[in-house]
């Protein structure tokens, strides 16, 4: 439905849905891959993600340099988001190994990845990575999946609503100075305000996918601004209220899948924390526009919601009978 509405929003008008559809495909493809690889074992897929990102630091030493244009994604905050996902992957891998020695070693890797997010100078990624590592270390104490997922979802709702409120009220009340003092740049709040204004002006189909930058006065006047710096406001500005509803429904569906996941509570806790860390950062930045980040998010969420190995269960049942 989300992909279909993107095509509707782009039909017979200016619009570039290809980038949006690529990002959506990356997330969905990663999710399917995580589900497939996570059946029976939560180890292979997270180990691949953590290993790949750790290898990235070796291939591109400047990835954690804090340079705004550092490889491999050429945007420091996106590099931070990717490393934060890798920290979550390492925590999931640690939960899956039987050896206490290997578990400690993998958790050390997770801690190093958290430190790497600080090196990227992405505050949101660093905070998210710390939350994910804390979830991994405290996962043994978790008892109820519903509580874990509900708290995670409420965190996202709170941040998303906060950006919308700042966008709607910030430019009207002179609250930009206060927002900047709280760690948000004035330009970012201006972008949120323009996203809210475009949503109000074109509530049904928006400006068209990929057209926020063209229709934003702030983005048009600053070559360093590439998007709305908000997953939600960009979606509503470019694809109208129906597009935003589709996005909210998609994210809500993922949280429902986490709530109903057959995986152990510890795995659901780390998976939910990792997914939430991404969404919180995507609510104040444009990291959701990088397919590599979305693939990692999809894989880890897929692992956290993967079903049991039915073939193994069948073989076990046949052996008992």
CA angle 17, 18, 21 (to 5 degrees): 85
What is the structure's pLDDT at 313? 41
Highest mean pLDDT among 60-64, 250-254, 309-313: 250-254
Q: What is the per-residue burial (b if ≥16 Cβ within 10 Å, else e) of 127-159? A: bbbbbbbebbeebeebeebeebbeebbebbeeb
Confidence of residue 231 (pLDDT cuts 50, 70, 90): very high
Cα dihedral value 219, 21, 38, 147, nearest 10:
50
Confidence of residue 179 (pLDDT cuts 50, 70, 90): very low
The residue behind tokens 């702030």 is 218
The yes-or-no verdict on residue 182 having pLDDT over 60 is no
What is the structure's pLDDT at 98? 87
What is the structure's pLDDT at 320? 35
Q: Rounded to an integer, what distance in angstroms lies between the CA atom of residue 113 and that of residue 108? A: 9
Q: Rounded to an integer, what distance in angstroms lies between the CA atom of residue 12 and that of residue 4? A: 14
What is the structure's pLDDT at 317? 34
Q: Rounded to an integer, what distance in angstroms lies between the CA atom of residue 281 and that of residue 232? A: 12
Per-residue pLDDT averaged across 105-129, rounded?
Answer: 94
Q: Give the dihedral sign, CA 255/247/189/274.
A: positive
The yes-or-no verdict on residue 190 having pLDDT over 50 is yes
Cα dihedral value 98, 267, 57, 101, nearest 10:
-20
């Amino acid at each position: 439905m989300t992909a279909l509405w993107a095509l509707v929003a782009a039909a017979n008008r200016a619009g570039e849905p290809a980038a949006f559809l690529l990002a959506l495909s990356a997330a969905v493809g990663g999710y399917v891959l995580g589900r497939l690889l996570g059946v029976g074992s939560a180890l292979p897929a997270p180990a691949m993600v953590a290993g790949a990102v750790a290898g990235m630091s070796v291939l591109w030493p400047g990835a954690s340099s804090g340079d705004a244009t550092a490889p491999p994604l050429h945007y420091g905050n996106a590099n931070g988001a990717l490393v934060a996902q890798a920290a979550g992957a390492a925590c999931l891998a640690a939960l899956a190994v039987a050896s206490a020695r290997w578990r400690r070693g993998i958790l050390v890797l997770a801690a190093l990845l958290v430190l790497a997010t600080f090196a990227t100078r992405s505050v949101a990624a660093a905070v998210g990575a710390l939350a994910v590592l804390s979830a991994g270390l405290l996962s043994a104490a978790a008892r109820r999946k519903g509580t874990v997922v509900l708290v995670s979802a409420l965190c996202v709702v709170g941040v998303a609503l906060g950006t919308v409120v700042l966008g709607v009220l910030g430019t009207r009340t002179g609250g930009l100075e206060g927002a900047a003092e709280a760690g948000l740049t004035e330009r970012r709040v201006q972008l949120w305000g323009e996203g809210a204004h475009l949503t109000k002006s074109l509530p049904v189909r928006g400006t068209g996918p990929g057209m926020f930058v063209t229709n934003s006065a702030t983005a048009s006047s600053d070559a360093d601004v590439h998007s709305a710096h908000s997953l939600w406001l960009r979606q509503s500005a470019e694809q109208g209220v129906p597009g935003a509803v589709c996005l909210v429904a998609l994210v809500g569906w993922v949280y429902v899948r986490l709530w109903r996941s057959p995986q152990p509570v510890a795995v659901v806790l780390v998976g939910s924390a990792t997914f939430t860390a991404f969404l919180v950062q995507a609510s104040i930045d444009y990291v959701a526009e990088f397919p590599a980040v979305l693939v990692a998010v999809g894989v880890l969420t897929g692992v956290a919601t993967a079903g049991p190995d039915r073939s193994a269960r069948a073989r076990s049942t046949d052996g008992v009978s």
